[in-house]
A and B are shown apart, each in its own frame.
Chain A
Amino acid sequence: MNREEIIQAIKDIITTIAPDEDVSNLANDVRLREQIELDSMDFLDIVMELRKRYGVQVPEEDYKELATLDGCVTYLSPKLAGKTLKVGV
């Protein structure tokens, strides 16, 4: 997965767990929690969806790496290398 695909993967997961939130205009370098309503229970769901869809493990101490979309790209790039984007699962 490239950068754009990883961002799309995260946005698609957010849409699944929080269908009321508009993800179309999210800035890549601003904390997700400052742009949309996400609490710690929602971050658990993002991690669980990454595990379910892509077999990616994110230990709790690494949650902070997922704070922004840019952070997601940096952290997940090596883990998602060679995997295919799945949308609307």
Chain B
Amino acid sequence: MPMSANRYDAIVIGAGMSGLAAGIRLAQFGRRVVVLERHSLWGGLNSFYKRGGRRYDTGLHALTNFVPRGTKNTPLPRLLRQLRIGYDDLKLGEQTYSRVCLDDVVLRFANQFALLAEDVSSVFPAEIDGFARLVHEVETMDAFDQTAVVRSARTELRRFVRDPLLVEALMVPICWYGSAREDDIDWDQFVILFRSLFLEGFARPEGGIKPFLDLLLARYRDCGGELRMKCGVEKIELDAHGAARGVRLQDGSELESDCILSSAGFPETMGLVGRNIDTRDIGRLSFTEIVHITDRPSRTFGHDATITFFATTKDFAWRRPESLIDTRTGVICCSDNYASLTPSKEGVMRVTSLANHDRWCALDESSYETAKLAAEQAIFAAAIRFVFDPRPHSVASDMFTPRTIRFYTGHLGGTVYGTPTKRRDGDCGVKNLHLIGTDQGLLGIVGALLSGVTMANRHVLMETRAGQS
């Protein structure tokens, strides 16, 4: 069948992790695919930028799901095989260990599960059996059953663990690494995250996110995939039967396809289709993040943990704050504490906090700058209980807010984890249009990549297998 120049087997909206992964899968098997990115940088939530001659990563604290080379039946090797990227090409450096600090309760975890089991046993001796039953449930449950009803992780956890402190301590890192719901997370997402954080582990690609993105991009181009940068989608066009038939770009031109994979987010995609956006679909959780480069490595300050998830009080609140920020919980990532082939002479500390998108976006320019300074003071006043103060040793620093996230990702509400109600099968109610990425509910970099892979498999490779030649 002859194809017109503007007709594709699939159109992918967004050059983030899920979009690039979907693109690779399709291009790899000779399908005509285009990935459309409205910004001048790729990577989406996991990207990078340059300022003052330095490159900063956004998003990447950790590549979760770390397993040693050759480990069978786990997401990371399965993903790499689907994308045909070699494990060794990632040049992964492992974490030292990470910590959950809930007030004065400390649990450490590492890429060997024994450390967490040991700390749970010593801090919560009465919970040893319950915790073992929880781990067994996490290991054996089918967390990808798309017909399963949505359950509350907090409620389910109480079936295994009686001490509310242990429940909260487990919720802190898991909410931080992927909950789009206030004060809870879906049980199946909890299980997936428990595996990827605790049973598997954390690592960092050598050099951060850019070399990792370079690998994905090179793979996509080698397969013959087309990437258009600074190419925003104005509208998703529907045919007379309400099925997606293509996109209209911001420059007015049109592309046609019977398969559109959108990583824009569920409410954002509904906006592109021209439907009303239900405000309940807009997530309420957004963040600020401060990064400090220090003149010497973090370990020289006596800080050897890679990531610290903290809550300053025993009642962990995972919700949008009333004020600009909530300093009572946060994540501290010292990325120079990942193993590296070329150890840095500097330290890199990032501190992430919960923030209120609407309040940040309501500020005028001068108040915005003042608010950033005040927020930083308040955040460090709370965080230095768990880490050294980098500010006296800082040689460079930067900060992003919900406003920055909104601008670069287009996510309504400045969300990172997207809509609170996930659509696991990617179904958004429009034929030929499928969600990929965050709002499909797969988490982290590995989850996002897998989401693109599985949707490309299901909606393009498997669909057309019998039809065309």
Contact = CB atoms under 8 A, between A and B. Distances in A.
Interface stretch (A1-9, A26-34, A44-52): A44-52
A45 B465 contact: no
Given A20-B70, A55-B469, A45 B30 contact: no
Contacts of B73: 37, 39
B70 A51 contact: no
A72 B250 CA distance: 49
A49 B30 CA distance: 10
Contact of B457 (A16, A41, A49, A58): A41
A87 interface: no
B81 A59 contact: no
Given A20-B70, A48-B29, A60 B465 contact: yes
A44 B72 contact: no
A18 interface: yes
A42 B81 contact: yes
Contacts of A48: 29, 461, 465
A74 interface: no
A60 to B, nearest CB: 7
Given A20-B70, A52-B29, A57 B81 contact: no
Q: Which range contains the number of B residues in contact with the other chain?
A: 10 to 19
A41 B78 contact: yes
A55 B468 CA distance: 10
B465 A17 contact: no
Contact of B469 (A45, A49, A57): A57
B70 A17 contact: no
Contacts of B461: 44, 48
B72 A47 contact: no
A33 B25 CA distance: 22
Q: Which range contains the number of A residues in contact with the other chain?
A: 20 to 34
Contacts of B150: none
B33 to A, nearest CB: 14
Contacts of B374: none
Given A41-B457, A44-B461, A48-B461, A57 B72 contact: no
A59 B465 contact: yes
A47 B462 CA distance: 10
B151 interface: no
Contacts of A18: 81
Nearest to A44: B457
A12 B73 CA distance: 22
A18 B29 CA distance: 16
Interface in B129-176: none
B385 interface: no
A41 B82 contact: yes
B457 A60 contact: no
A48 B86 CA distance: 20
A69 B437 CA distance: 37
Contact of B72 (A16, A17, A37, A51): A37
Interface string B67-99: 000101100001001101010000000000000
Contacts of A47: 465
B449 to A, nearest CB: 13
A49 B370 CA distance: 58
Contacts of B453: 41
B341 interface: no
A58 B469 CA distance: 11
Given A37-B72, A41-B457, A44-B457, A51 B82 contact: no
Interface of A: 16-20, 37, 39, 41-42, 44-45, 47-49, 51-52, 55, 57-60
**Closest 3 pairs (CB-CB, A-B):** A48-B29, A59-B466, A52-B30
Given A45-B82, A60-B462, 13 more contacts: A16-B84, A17-B81, A39-B73, A41-B81, A41-B453, A44-B462, A48-B465, A51-B29, A51-B469, A55-B469, A58-B465, A59-B465, A60-B466
24 contacts: A16-B84, A17-B81, A18-B81, A19-B86, A39-B73, A39-B78, A41-B82, A44-B461, A44-B462, A45-B82, A47-B465, A48-B461, A51-B29, A51-B465, A51-B469, A52-B30, A55-B469, A57-B465, A57-B466, A58-B465, A59-B465, A59-B466, A60-B462, A60-B465
